[in-house]
Structure 1
Amino acid sequence: MTTVLPEQTSAPGSATSESVPRLRPALVNGQRIWVECPIWCVEDHVAASERHLEDVCHTSGAADLVAPREGGPSQLLLLSRLIAGTGSAPEDRQPLVTIDVDDVNGMYLEPAAADVFADGLVAFAEQVRALARTARDA
């Protein structure tokens, strides 16, 4: 839920529980307001400077899957984070797990689907380890 309050000089009280949202400043159409953020949100809503209140979204820190490259820098393969909107409907505020392949292609998964995806990653990791063992033993 998004709460619009008049501008204040300091943010209201801090949350002590991981499930308690907190109010943070946001810039919407040039107007400074306060929005209710989930505890996991790391988005700088002032820097994002959205045009419309419904464009404000919450994002978490990212989990990265990086692959080493022979003779070069590591390459980011996947990144995952939480994202939630601020719309008035409850489904708009439900956090989803994003799996981003690059800046253009990504998936938005509900928690149960994210668990299935993670199970697939574990199985994939086991197959990669088996391939590495085979290559070492060859």
Structure 2
Amino acid sequence: MTVATPASAVSTPIPAQPTPNLSPALVNGQRVWVECPHWCTEDHIAANERHLEDVCHTSGAADLIAARKDSAPHLLLLTRLIAGTGSTAEDRQPLVTIDVDDVTGMYLEPADADRFADDLVAFAQQVRALARTARGA
């Protein structure tokens, strides 16, 4: 007799937390090593911050580009992760930034970023509805 194991009883391994990287940085002209989160793409050498606490970590960006009629595309929104290197856990907490027109606009905690993304989806649906109306007009 064979007994099948229910799928819910099968244990799946918990993914390991990504390990941070040690990266070189220039701080007031001196080379130091900073611990970067796995998502950090910042060139800490080029930044050459004045103080160690000014070093920050940023991720790659996602852009929202709008193509204008008869002109070049225009950057509307840019989003990425950013985190400081301060002494408290709160200072080091990654935030989602939403930059408007290449000017820093908002720093969002993850739950707020989720709500913003939901609003963007609803907005996109409204844009599609307007485009359908324009096509049928």
Gaps of 5+ in 1: 1-16
Measure, in 2, the Cα distance between the counterparts of 1:31 and 1:102.
34
Question: 1:42-57 counterparts in 2 under 5 A?
Answer: 42-57=41-56
Measure, in 1, the Cα distance between the counterparts of 2:57 and 2:18.
14
Change (3 A) 1:66 1:18: farther
Q: CA RMSD in A?
A: 1.1
Between the two proteins, what is the percent identity of the paired residues? 77
When Rg is computed on C-alpha atoms for both structures, the one with the higher figure is 2
Measure, in 1, the Cα distance between the counterparts of 2:104 and 2:19.
32
- Structure possessing the higher relative contact order (Cα contacts under 8 Å, 6 or more residues apart): 1
Contact in 2 for aligned 1:18/1:39 (Cα 8 Å): no
Q: Once the 2 structures are TM-superposed, how far is the Cα of residue 72 of structure 1 from its aligned partner? A: 1.1
Task: Report whether the alignment pairs 1:115 with 2:114.
Answer: yes
Gaps of 5+ in 2: 1-15
Show CA shifts across 1:62-100 (max 9, x none). 010000111111000000000000001000000000000
Change (3 A) 1:104 1:64: closer
Q: Once the 2 structures are TM-superposed, how far is the Cα of residue 102 of structure 1 from its aligned partner? A: 3.0
Change (3 A) 1:105 1:58: closer
Per the normalisation by structure 2, the TM-score is 0.86
Match of 1:74 in 2: 73
Question: 1:1-138 counterparts in 2 under 5 A?
Answer: 19-138=18-137
Secondary structure of 1:73's aligned partner: coil
Contact in 2 for aligned 1:57/1:84 (Cα 8 Å): yes
Per the normalisation by structure 1, the TM-score is 0.85
